Chains A and B, each alone.
Chain A
Amino acid sequence: MNADVASVSSAGSEEIAALIESFHAIGQRLEDLTGGEVDTVTDRLGRTLQLRGSQEHSRRSDAVKQAAILDALPAHIAVLDASGFIVSVNEAWRSFATANALQGSRYAIGVDYPRICEEAVGHDATEGPAVASGIRAVLQEGAKGFSIEYPCHSATEQRWFLLTVTPLASVRPHGAVVMHLNITEQKIAELRIGRLNRVYAMLSGINALTARVRGCDELFRETCRLAVELGGFKTAWIGATEPPTLDGHIVAWCGGEHAESIRPSARTGTPISEQPASTALQTLRPVICNDIETDPAIEPCRAELQSQGLRAVGYFPLTLHGKPRAVLALFSGEVGVFDAQERQLLLDLAGDISFALDHIEKLERLEYLAYYDVLTGLANRSLFLERVAQHLLDAFSGDHHLALFLIDLERFKNINDSLGQAAGDALLRQVANWLTRNLAGASLVARIGADRFAAVLPQVKHEGAVRRLLDETLVAFVTHPFALNEAVFRVAVKVGIALFPDGGTSAESLFKNAEAALKKAKAGGHRYLFYTPQMTASVAGKLTLENHLRQALDREEFVLHYQPKVDLPSGRVIGAEALIRWNDPRTGLVPPAQFIPILEETGLIIEVGRWALHKAIDDHLRWRRTGLSAVRVAVNVSPLQLRNRDFIAEIEQAVSIDAKAAAGLELEITESVVMEDVPHSISSLRAIRAMGVRIAIDDFGTGFSSLSYLSRLPVDTLKIDRSFVVGIADGPEGPALVATIITLAHSLKLEVVAEGVETEEQRRTLEELGCDEMQGFLFSRPMPCDMFEARYLGA
C-alpha cells in the first residue's frame, strides 16, 4: 500500500484533497437529510455506500466486540503475522507472560515467536522445535493447522497445555493465530483414569490368577509380575512371614533393583520392626506414602527408595485366618498415585489375595490328607504306590532290582490296650522316625495300616544284599529302646519283601506279593520272608479249598469229634472237648490244621462255629434224654466269633432250646483272643456266664496275660497249654512254671485243666502239683461221637 502512495504525483494530491473535501461534504449532507437514521444509500446502479456515522459505529463496535471476546477466552491467544512475529495478544496471554516473568518479556508483541520456541531450553521445553516447525508449516506451507500437547510444570504445580496454530485465511499473505489452552485438569483426570485402568487390569489379572493358581509361590510371583506389567508400578515385592518367628523375607520381586536386605517382621521390638512394611504387618493396615520425600513414616528407607527414583509407595498386608502372612509392597515413580479410589482398589486386591491364600492352604491341606498319614507324617498307601510306580520306571530301564518291604509291628495292639492310645500313637511316631532314619537306602517309608509300615529300596543289586541289610536293620530295631510313659519298650517286627522283577512288575503286584510274604512270615514265625511264586500257588490252592469248605457246610460234611477230660485223682471222665473235623468225600478225614486256618481267614468259622455249638448242645441233650452220663461239652470259640456282635445273642438262642442246655456247655476261648480287647472280653464273658455257661481260658501261658486282668476276667477254668505239659519233665523249671500257674489259678478260684498229656510221668507230676483235670492221648484221642458215647458214656 505504501508503494501506491509513493507513486502519486503532487498535482494528483491536490485533486485528492479536493475530492475528499467534497466527499465529506456529501457525506455530511446525506447524514443531515436522513436525520442520522439511515445506514446506507444506494445509487441507481445499485452501488451501496455506507454512511460515515454508521461506518464508524460499525468499526468501533466490531473492534470492541472482538477484543472483548478474545480477552474473555481462557486460552492464551496471540496473532502472528506472515513472518511469525506476534502482532496481537489477548488478556490471558499477557497475564500468563507476566506471571511467568522469567520468560514473560520474551513473549510480548513484536517477538519472532517460532524462533524463541526453537531457542527455548530446559527440561520442559523439549517440544520447542516441534512447535516452531509446526507454526512455520502453517505460515509458509499452507498447512491447515497444527496442534500439540505439552507439559509445562512450574515449581509449584504440574501443568499441561494444548497448543493450536490456525491460519488466518482472510488476510493475504496470511498470518496465524496461536492458542495455548491449559488442559491440566483433563490431563490429570486422563492420567488418573489411565492409572486406574492399569490397576483394574492388574486386579482382573490377579483375580484370574487366584482362580487357577495352586501354590503360594506362584501366587506371589505372578502378583508382583502383574503389578509391574499391568499395574504400571515400577517395583513390586512380597515379603512373607515365617509362622513361628513372625519374621519375614522377600519371596517374590519384580522390577527395580532386588534388595535382599529388606526383612519385614510382624513382631515388635526388633531392629526391623520400625520399617514401614513391618508396621503394615503388625497393624494389619496398609501403610501408604504418597510422597517419599516428605512422609516421616518412610524415614527408615527414604534414601534407598529415592536412589531408585521411587516417589510413592504402599505396603498392603496379606492375611491368613486374620493373622499376618505377607506384605505386598508397590512402588511408583509418580507422586500421589495412591488416591482414595486406588487405595480402595488395592485394599480389595489385598483381600482377594488373602482369600486365595486361604484357598491354597485348604488345597494343600487336602492334598496332604490325601497323600500323607497325619499321625506320623509319613506317606500313605496311595502316595507310596505312586512313588513305587515311578521308581519302577527307572528299574525297568536300569539293570537293577527294586525291593518293597512291608513291616508289621508285633503285638502293637497289646501296647495300645495296656498303655492307652496316646502311648500307642507315640510309639508309632517313634517307629516312623526310626525307620526313616535307619532304613539305609530306602527312598520312602510309608504307613499303610494301623501297625504296618512300608518302604521301598529303589536300587538293590540282588537278594543277598537285601538280606544283609535286613539282618542288620532288624537287629538294630528289636534292640532299640522305645520310650513310652517313662518306661522302655522293645518292639519286634515281621517283614514281607517282594523284589522287582521276580516278585512283581507293578507297584500293586509287588505290594500284594509282599503282603503274601508277610502273612507267611507271621504264620510261620519267620522274622522276614521274601516272596516266592509258591506263596501265590498255595493261595490258589487255598481258594479251591475255600470253595470246598463252603460246600462242606451246605452238604453237612463237618462232624464233631470228642476228646474226654478226666478228673484227678478219680480218673472219671467228667467232660469232653468238641473238635470240628471235616469228612471230605474226596479225600476222607482232613486234619484240622489244614482247614481251620482257612475257616478263620475266610470268616466261614462264624457259620461253622455256630453249627458246632448247636451240634454239641444237641449231643449233650441227647445224652441226657437217652440216659447216658451227660458230661459237659466244651466248644472252642474263634476270635472272629467273639468279635462278632451277634455272638452273645447266638449263644443265648442256642441254650434257650432246653433249660439244661446251658449247664452242659463250656466255651473255650484262647488267652490271646481274650487279651486282644480286654474290656470287650470282660463284658462278653460276663454276659455268657450269666446264662449259666462255663468259660475256660484255652492255651493259657502262651499269651501275655496281665495278672490284674486275669483276676478280673469272669472265667471258671484255665487250660494249661500243651507246651508246658511237654516241658514239665525238662529240669527243675518245668514243674515250677506249671506249679505257679496252678497255684495262681487256685488262688483265683479257677479250676485247672492240663492239655496234651501223653505220658504217665506227666500225669503223675500234674497230679502231684494239684491239677484238677487232664486231657490228652494218654487217656484218649478225639473220637467220633458214637464211639465216644459207647466208650465213656455207657451207651
Chain B
Amino acid sequence: MSRRNQFKFRLYVAGDALNSAQARMNLASLCQTYLPDRHKIDIVDVFCEPRQALAAGILMTPTLLKLSPAPVRRIVGTLSQAQPLLQALGLPEAIAP
C-alpha cells in the first residue's frame, strides 16, 4: 500500500459526551470497513485541549477533520450516515453499487 493513500483524520470530541462517543465509534467502524490499514485517527478532547481546538477554529464537537489526502475537509456531527460521509470524504470508490 502506498503512502499516498494514507488517510489522516483528527476528531474533536467533548469527553465522553454522547454525540462525541458516537462519532468516535462511527469513524472507527468506517475506517475499519473502507480504509483498513490506510488510516490514522487523532482524537482531541476539547475539554482537555481547548487551545488546540481554538487554533483549528473548531466551534462544535464532534467535528472531524480529514487532513489528508488533500483537500482538508471538515464534518460536524455523529458521522452516523455513511454514504454522504463517504462522499464528503472523497471516497466515491468505496460507495456500494
Contacts and interface: CB of A to CB of B under 8 A. Distances in A.
Contact of B46 (A35, A48, A61): A48
A39 B13 contact: yes
Interface string A10-52: 0000000000000000000000001111111111011010100
Nearest to B17: A39
B20 A39 contact: yes
Interface in A576-626: none
Given A34-B76, A48-B47, A42 B59 contact: yes
Interface in B45-69: 46-47, 50-51, 53-54, 58-62
B18 interface: yes
A659 B59 CA distance: 153
B16 interface: yes
12 contacts: A38-B62, A39-B18, A39-B19, A39-B62, A40-B14, A40-B17, A41-B60, A42-B60, A50-B14, A54-B14, A54-B19, A57-B17
A41 B57 CA distance: 11
Interface in B62-97: 62, 76-78, 80
Interface of A: 34-43, 45-46, 48, 50, 53-54, 57-58, 61
Given A42-B46, A48-B14, 15 more contacts: A34-B76, A37-B78, A38-B61, A38-B77, A39-B20, A40-B61, A41-B60, A42-B50, A46-B53, A48-B47, A48-B50, A48-B53, A50-B17, A53-B18, A54-B18
Which 3 A-B pairs have CB atoms at the shortest separation, nearest pair first?
A39-B17, A46-B54, A37-B77
Nearest to A38: B60
Nearest to A41: B60
Nearest to A45: B54
A50 B13 CA distance: 11
Given A34-B60, A37-B78, A40-B60, A46 B20 contact: no
A35 B60 contact: no
Residue among B13, B14, B47, B51 with max Cβ neighbours from chain A (10 Å): B14
A43 B47 CA distance: 14
Contacts of B13: 39
Given A48-B46, A58-B16, A37 B76 contact: yes
Contacts of B80: 37
A49 to B, nearest CB: 10
Contacts of B60: 34, 38, 40-42
Nearest to B47: A48
Contacts of A50: 14, 17
B54 A39 contact: no
Nearest to A53: B18
A41 B61 CA distance: 7
B61 A46 contact: no
A675 B79 CA distance: 133
A58 B54 contact: no
User: Which residue of A39, A48, A53, A54 has the most chain B CB atoms within 10 A of its CB atom?
Assistant: A39
A40 B46 contact: yes
Contacts of B16: 58, 61
Contacts of A40: 14, 17, 46, 60-61
B18 A58 contact: yes
Contacts of A37: 19, 62, 76-78, 80
B92 to A, nearest CB: 24
A57 B17 CA distance: 7
Contacts of A57: 17-18
A612 B78 CA distance: 141
B58 A58 contact: no
A54 B14 CA distance: 9
Contacts of A35: 77
A50 B47 CA distance: 10
A37 B51 CA distance: 22
A52 B80 CA distance: 21
B30 to A, nearest CB: 16
Given A38-B62, A39-B61, A48-B50, A54 B17 contact: yes
Contacts of B62: 37-39
Contacts of B50: 42, 46, 48
Interface string B1-14: 00000000000011
Contacts of B19: 36-39, 54
Contacts of B20: 39
A54 B20 CA distance: 9
B15 to A, nearest CB: 7
Nearest to B55: A46
B12 to A, nearest CB: 9
A33 to B, nearest CB: 9
A42 B76 contact: no
